[in-house]
Amino acid sequence: METLRVGMLGAGTVGSGVARILLEEPDRIVRRCGRRIELTRAVVRDPLKARDEVFSRVPVSGNPRDVLDAAEVDVVLELMGGLEPARTLVRSALQAGKDVVTANKALLCEHGEELFSAAREAGRTIAFEAAVAGGVPIIHVLGQSMAANQITAIEAIINGTSNFILTDMFRNDAAYDDAVRKAQAMGYAEADPSMDVEGTDAAQKLTLLTLLAFGTRTRPEQFQVQGINTLELADLKYADELGYAVKLLATAKLLEGGLEMHTQPTLIRQGRPLATVEGANNMIALTGDVVGQTWFSGMGAGQMATASAVVSDLIDVAVGRAQLTFPHLDVWGAHAPVPLQPAEQAFRRYYLRFNVEDRPHVIADITDILGRNSISLASVIQHEAPEPDDVPSGAAPIVPLVIMTHRTTEGQLRRASAELDALNCLRRPKVCLPVSD
């Protein structure tokens, strides 16, 4: 069979890993798909920048037309990230009759509907395994392997950077900023790491999983998205004391009232598989009505894990599997989507941490507000502080107060939270995290 010729847009962390596999493992690829896959050219923003030595064997330019207009390019790999010019270039590639492989979840979350219909009109495919969970083949699982099921729940750790930072803080007492810098140096973080630590990246990935699982098209603005950037080491330690691990958890559950969806740092009970995920690993727990609960885990970010998924997509295109599955992938399809449940109806336990003045009636004031909002307490931690007389200013010391609630609705919690904010015994920040038992 003829060689499949690949043009690459973006030759950074992921692009270098892909180039390495294509150039260093040609025999393996021929064994997998019965034909060669050749990287014929790459386009970058700055062709003069020093880059991985693997690109000494590939023509590199700064002009995307070198890939889009080339007759000797069958597949375009979009590995540049961001929305523009990625969106325009992917459209042009499809219109030029080329299949597309991309790792860009931001692009698919924002413009997926348009790009998928452009691919269908052009009779081409878009493969995007690397867009969610790096090396964990969760898109294939949802699009093909679980097809006999109605998925009823997704609980997923799908931002490797956030999980790496939380692990480094908890295990090594690393300062938050240092852990962010390490995640960047390891190639886990997005070009703008606020996408990782503010929860946006995980929320974008959740929209893709939700679309495949439930046919529901959502945007991160439509559900609760909270990142790890407001967490403190104290919260990780208190959670541990209570028997939980804190993870950035992306959740979508099919309930009677609709789809409950959120992406938030969450206390996960120790002993559950999700609580054991460390470093840049990801885990997706899927519940199917036929199969029951399943877990898929592995490196969710980083050069070679992501390259593994990209090259698998290329092999799917080379053997013709992507061309078979893409038209049947029920994404952005016409069937009735499941509506989103209003955020206020989420019904769960919560971890609350307050910094309070250590003086009479403080706990009574707080529990009064919680009680009047029908929020019942499951446990309380207040470690002993110095005696007020030993504090130099004579003022009441400020101490952390941690409360675990029984299950309550997000609406009740928000109402209580607004009342709590008015208490003058409370100091900011107040931390409020959901719990997944």
40 phi, psi to nearest 5 deg: -90, -25
Contacts 24+ apart (CB under 8 A), 330-333: 330/212, 330/215, 331/112, 331/116, 331/143, 331/211, 331/212, 332/112, 332/113, 332/116, 332/117, 332/211, 332/217, 333/215
Q: Which of 306/341 has CB closer to ligand HSE?
A: 306
Nearest C-alpha neighbor of 421 from the set 409, 410, 429, 411: 429
Please select the residue that binds ligand HSE; options are 201, 235, 260, 313, rule is CB under 6 A: 201
**Is 159 a binder of ligand HSE (CB under 6 A)?**
yes
Provide the minimum distance between the beta carbon of 189 and ligand HSE in the complex, in angstroms, as a whole number: 5
Q: Is residue 49 annotated as a catalytic residue, yes or no?
A: no
Nearest C-alpha neighbor of 395 from the set 403, 384, 387: 387
**Is 81 a binder of ligand NAP (CB under 6 A)?**
yes
Q: Which of 37/138 has CB closer to ligand HSE?
A: 138
**Interacting span for ligand NAP (CB under 6 A) from 12-20, 28-36, 289-297, 311-319:** 12-20
> In the window 246-305, what residues touch ligand NAP (CB under 6 A)?
301-302
Q: What angle do CA 417, 418, 421 make, to 5 degrees?
A: 85
CB 247 within 8 A of CB 275: yes
Could you give the 3-state DSSP secondary structure of residue 355? strand
Residue 401 contact, options ligand HSE, ligand NAP, none, Cβ 5-8 Å cut-off depending on partner type? none
Provide the minimum distance between the beta carbon of 159 and ligand NAP in the complex, in angstroms, as a whole number: 10
Please select the residue that binds ligand NAP; options are 33, 54, 73, 79, rule is CB under 6 A: 79
**Is 196 a binder of ligand HSE (CB under 6 A)?**
yes
Q: Which of 49, 105, 182, 205 is catalytic?
A: 205
Residue 177 contact, options ligand NAP, ligand HSE, none, Cβ 5-8 Å cut-off depending on partner type? none
Please select the residue that binds ligand NAP; options are 15, 112, 193, 265, rule is CB under 6 A: 15
Pattern 29-58, ligand NAP, x by CB under 6 A: --------------xxxx--x---------
**Is 414 a binder of ligand NAP (CB under 6 A)?**
no
What string of DSSP letters covers 342-391? PGGG-EEEEEEEEEEE-STTHHHHHHHHHHHTTPPEEEEE------GGGS
How far is it, in rounded angstroms, from Cα 13 to Cα 304?
Answer: 9
Please select the residue that binds ligand HSE; options are 110, 190, 198, 235, rule is CB under 6 A: 190
The token duo for 369 is: 């507000």
Provide the minimum distance between the beta carbon of 132 and ligand HSE in the complex, in angstroms, as a whole number: 7
**Is 187 a binder of ligand NAP (CB under 6 A)?**
yes
Could you give the 3-state DSSP secondary structure of residue 188? coil
Nearest C-alpha neighbor of 163 from the set 286, 332, 300: 300
What string of DSSP letters covers 217-260? ---GGGSEE--STT--HHHHHHHHHHTEEEEEEEEEEEETTEEE
Nearest C-alpha neighbor of 105 from the set 115, 95, 96: 115
Could you give the 3-state DSSP secondary structure of residue 172? helix
Count of residues that interact with ligand HSE, criterion CB under 6 A = 11
**Interacting span for ligand NAP (CB under 6 A) from 29-37, 164-172, 187-195, 402-410:** 187-195
How far is it, in rounded angstroms, from Cα 38 to Cα 172?
Answer: 43
**Is 17 a binder of ligand HSE (CB under 6 A)?**
no
CB 373 within 8 A of CB 412: yes
How far is it, in rounded angstroms, from Cα 14 to Cα 303?
Answer: 5
**Is 19 a binder of ligand NAP (CB under 6 A)?**
no
Residue 400 contact, options ligand NAP, ligand HSE, none, Cβ 5-8 Å cut-off depending on partner type? none
> In the window 262-301, what residues touch ligand HSE (CB under 6 A)?
300-301
Please select the residue that binds ligand HSE; options are 189, 267, 366, 432, rule is CB under 6 A: 189
Q: Which of 14/138 has CB closer to ligand NAP?
A: 14
Binding site for ligand HSE (CB under 6 A): 134, 159-161, 188-190, 196, 201, 300-301
**Residues identified as active-site:** 205
Binding site for ligand NAP (CB under 6 A): 10-15, 43-46, 49, 79-81, 85, 103-104, 130, 134, 187-188, 190-191, 301-302, 306
